[in-house]
Amino acid sequence: MSKEIKLSRVFLIGFILSFFAFLPFLIQDKGFLLIGADFDAQEIPLNVLANFAIKTGEVLWNWKIDLGSEFISGLGFYCLGSPFFYISLLFPPRWFPYTVAWIFMLKYAVATLTAYLYIRRYVEDKYALIGALLYAFSGFQCCNVVFYHFHDVVAFFPLLLFGLDRLLFDHKKGSFLWAVFINAFVNYYFFIGETIFCILYFLIRMYYAELQAKGKQVFVNLKTCLVEGILGVGLAGLLFVPQILTILNNPKSSNHLRIQRWFTYKPVRYLQLLRAFLLPAENMFENSTLVTDNWNSIGFYLPVVGVSLVIAYLLSTKKDWLRSLLVCSIVTLFVPVLNNIFVLETAEIQHRWSFMFLLMMALASAKVISNVNLYRWKLGIITSCIGIVLFLVIVYGAHFEIYHPNRFLIFLFVAMMGLAITYYGCSKNMTKAFIVAVLVFSCFNTSYLTYTYRRDYGEMLGMNYQERYSDIMNSTTQLSDALPYRYAFWDDYTNRSMTSNIAGRSAFLSTVSPSIINLYREFGVGRPINTSPNSPDGINELYSIKYYVRKDVWDDPFVMSYSDGYEEINVYQDNYALPIGFTYDNYMTNSEFKKIPKEKRGYAMLASLVIPDEKEAEVKQILRHYDEKQDYELLHENVEKMQLKRAKETSKDFEWDTSHFACDIDACKETYAFFSVPYDTDWKATVNGEEREIISINGLMAVKLNQGNNHIHFQFTAKRILFGLLISVLSIILTFIYHKAKKKQV
Kindly report, residue by residue over 598-649, the tens digit of the pLDDT.
Answer: 999 999 999 999 999 999 999 999 999 999 988 999 999 999 999 999 999 9
Assign 250 to helix, strand or coil. coil
493 and 451 co-located in one domain: no
On whether residue 509 sits in a domain, the answer given is: yes
535 and 453 co-located in one domain: no
The answer to whether the peptide bond before residue 484 is cis (omega within 30 degrees of 0) is: yes
On whether residue 722 sits in a domain, the answer given is: no
Q: How many CB atoms lie within 10 A of CB 366?
A: 30
On whether residue 256 sits in a domain, the answer given is: no
**DSSP for 585-633, written as a single string:** SEEEEHHHHHTS-GGGHHHHHHHSEEE-GGGHHHHTTTSEEP-HHHH--
Quote the CA–CA distance of 677 and 691 in Å, as a whole number. Answer: 18
Who's near 487: CB < 8 A, 6+ residues apart?
A: 479, 497, 502, 503, 504, 505, 545, 546, 547, 548, 549
Task: Look at residue 344 in the predicted model and tell me its pLDDT.
Answer: 82
Listed residues 520, 548, 573: the one ending a domain: 573
Strand partners, 488: 548
Q: With CA atoms as reference, report the closest residue to 501 among 37, 62, 82.
A: 62
30 and 104 co-located in one domain: yes
104 and 66 co-located in one domain: yes
- Contact indicator for 177, 198 with CB cutoff of 8 Å: no
526 and 648 co-located in one domain: no
Quote the CA–CA distance of 518 and 214 in Å, as a whole number. Answer: 55
559 and 606 co-located in one domain: no
On whether residue 668 sits in a domain, the answer given is: yes
Task: Look at residue 100 in the predicted model and tell me its pLDDT.
Answer: 97
Low-confidence ranges of the chain (pLDDT < 70): 1-5, 211-216, 254, 745-746
Domain tally for the chain?
3
On whether residue 735 sits in a domain, the answer given is: no
Q: How many CB atoms lie within 10 A of CB 440?
A: 15
438 and 539 co-located in one domain: no
561 and 595 co-located in one domain: no
Task: Look at residue 213 in the predicted model and tell me its pLDDT.
Answer: 64
On whether residue 238 sits in a domain, the answer given is: yes
Backbone angles phi, psi at 161, to 5 degrees: -70, -35
pTM: 0.95
Q: How many CB atoms lie within 10 A of CB 122?
A: 16
233 and 304 co-located in one domain: yes
Listed residues 441, 461, 481: the one ending a domain: 461
Task: Look at residue 2 in the predicted model and tell me its pLDDT.
Answer: 41
25 and 109 co-located in one domain: yes
Q: With CA atoms as reference, report the closest residue to 60 among 725, 731, 639.
A: 725
On whether residue 723 sits in a domain, the answer given is: no
Residue 35 lies in domain:
3-248+268-461
440 and 480 co-located in one domain: no
On whether residue 732 sits in a domain, the answer given is: no
Which amino acid type is present at position 253?
S
Kindly report, residue by residue over 543-590, the tens digit of the pLDDT.
Answer: 999 999 999 899 888 999 999 998 999 999 999 999 999 999 999 999
- Contact indicator for 736, 231 with CB cutoff of 8 Å: no
**Coarse DSSP helix, strand, coil percentages of the chain, rounded to the nearest 5 percent:** 60, 10, 30
334 and 401 co-located in one domain: yes
Listed residues 520, 541, 573: the one ending a domain: 573
